[in-house]
Structure 1
Amino acid sequence: MGIPPLTLTEKAQMAMMLEVCAMTKPGNVDRGHDYPDTWLEHFLFSSLFCRTAFERAEKRDGTIGELIRQATLLTGRHRGGNTHFGAFILLIPLIIGKGIEGACECIKETSIEDAILFYDAFAHTAVRVHDSDELDIHDPSVAEKLRERGMTLFDVMAHSAPQDMVAREWTGGFALTRKTADLLKEDGRGREAVSSVFLWLLAEEPDTFIAKKFGYDRSCQVRDQAIQVLAGQISHSDFDEYCIRESINPGSLADIMIAGLFVALIEGWEWDL
């Protein structure tokens, strides 16, 4: 009997683990450093705990909103804060759709109940939101507002897209996910590919997690510094040390990195040498 092929679930878990274990990814948890309350182990636990939700997604057993909620609640058991909420927003439809094309189809079929379940999942995380957002996750009447407006989960992502790059993947055909997967395949195998592509992502767009935490101007400064690293004007290690010192962690781009890794893996990219 030959070695069985990897399942979509296993490839999604691999993508999560490969992202967090690669070094160096400026500002984010990796094999080189932790944050005070969130460690490498928390990300690895999260990658394991979400398996049931991923397996259901692979079998198309459940809706996108339901499965994002399940994955979020399962990974909340590690008590290390939010580790992969944004990644689940991308991975669940990508698993259900078996790639980008299928994901683009299934996200447009989401329902109002999906949106309500998503907001319930959101409320169980420590994800930063804009104070001005009229659909406040802490508002007990948010489910009623979603029903009154007839907002599906896709509509919620469209509502959030101007301020959130993960949501923009839903409305923009997973464009950065597609580019990330293509760059990984061009770059080659191994952890160095993950690190170099992540740096390209940092130089491509301001990270919206940084913008929510420090403001848009700061996120643009971080992007510009990544451009300088690529140009050889500042060192990768100095950039990493700056991000760590200032508690700047580009979490949204890490989520897109995970989605890109998953797409690359299902399209034949191999990490191991």
Structure 2
Amino acid sequence: MNGPADRAQLALLLEVAGTPKPGNVDRDRDLPDLRFEHFLAGAIGARAGLELAEAGEPVGVAFERAVEGMATQRGGNTQFGALLLLVPLVCAAAQGMTRSQCESVVAETSVSDAASFYRAFDHVDVAVDDPPPDAPALDVRRGADAIPAVRERGLDLQSVLELGVPDDDVAREWVTGFERSFAAADRLADRDGPIADRAGSVYLSLLAERPDTLVATRHGESVAADVHERAATLADRNAFERDLTAVADFADDLVAAGINPGTTADLTAAGLFIALERGSITV
């Protein structure tokens, strides 16, 4: 792996290869309209945007290009949230893979970066409904139509994402110095075994830590809490190591119910990149 773009692409591939990953696509499970190969193709398509980030292009430009490329496969949105984490992390990697450097990258984002973020929504369905006529001017469902309001208010991308907290844990990473992403990287380094299997284990630990915000958005907070509590029960029993059957059953149950903790998968991908960039895990 020669550079951060290589390692970011590898992180996307390792994330989807991890199994069992309750509710998400993995190497053993597809969703009805979203399959393993869609994620592989999405990781390949995102490459040009990741290379822009490595080359020092603005975060927004690199992110929009990564999403545009990701969306060329037929499955739809595979890694939008993961790329929203990975692009600033790749930008930061040139100066050192530290939380303080990541904070500097997001603090230096611009109004143009925020405009690119909104345009990215026009490239792919990100599991949001069309905005009602009375939706706020900055509602992400507006896509590029929100850009005049962004420019009028002079909002940079970090400021826009702050508006998503606490309802979106990807946005939360942008305002907490990628706290959980770095924690995931530490857990990956501490575990043994094949990296893809460690990714599945760390995914479960993250789901046990907090309710997934994508599940809360799609299914309500009570469902997200139930999923979190079941994950916590398995993690408390160290069941990922002792009883893979129980975790696999949990995974099958969530897939059958159409419950997809996608934010937790995004955090896992970010953690994989950080660990790869630090050299604390190697392939």
TM-score interval w.r.t. the shorter chain? over 0.9
1:25 corresponds to: 21
Is the aligned partner of 1:253 residue 2:264?
yes
Is the aligned partner of 1:178 residue 2:182?
yes
1:84 pairs with one of 69, 79, 84:
79
Q: CA deviation at 1:129?
A: 4.2
- Quote the Cα distance in structure 1 between the aligned partners of 2:32 and 2:128: 22
2:51 pairs with one of 55, 66, 82:
55
Whether contact under 8 Å (1:189, 1:271) holds in the other structure is no
1:225 corresponds to: 230
Is the aligned partner of 1:39 residue 2:35?
yes
1:127 corresponds to: 126
Superposed CA deviations along residues 25-59 of structure 1, whole A, max 9, x for unmatched, are 01100111111221100100111111111112111
Give the TM-score normalised by the residue count of structure 1: 0.92
Question: Which shows bigger deviation, 190-199 or 10-19?
Answer: 190-199
Identity of aligned residues (%): 37
2:253 corresponds to: 242
After the TM superposition, which segments of 4 or more aligned residues of structure 1 sit over 4 Å from their partners?
Answer: 129-133
Whether contact under 8 Å (2:188, 2:281) holds in the other structure is no
Q: CA deviation at 1:271?
A: 4.6
Whether contact under 8 Å (2:128, 2:141) holds in the other structure is no
Give the TM-score normalised by the residue count of structure 2: 0.89
Whether contact under 8 Å (1:25, 1:199) holds in the other structure is yes
Counterparts of residues 149-188 of structure 1 (less than 5 Å)? 149-188=153-192
Structure 2 SS opposite 1:55: helix
- Quote the Cα distance in structure 2 between the aligned partners of 1:182 and 1:209: 24
1:269 corresponds to: 280
Q: CA deviation at 1:189?
A: 4.1
Q: Which runs of 5+ in 1 are unaligned?
A: none
Q: CA deviation at 1:269?
A: 2.4
- Quote the Cα distance in structure 2 between the aligned partners of 1:56 and 1:141: 25
Equivalent residue letter for 1:40: F
Q: CA deviation at 1:143?
A: 1.1
* Superposition RMSD in Å: 1.8
Equivalent residue letter for 2:106: I
Whether contact under 8 Å (1:128, 1:209) holds in the other structure is no
- Quote the Cα distance in structure 1 between the aligned partners of 2:266 and 2:27: 17
Q: Which runs of 5+ in 2 are unaligned?
A: none
- Quote the Cα distance in structure 2 between the aligned partners of 1:83 and 1:236: 23
- Quote the Cα distance in structure 2 between the aligned partners of 1:17 and 1:46: 9
2:203 pairs with one of 198, 201, 211:
198
Superposed CA deviations along residues 176-200 of structure 1, whole A, max 9, x for unmatched, are 0011000011113413211111110
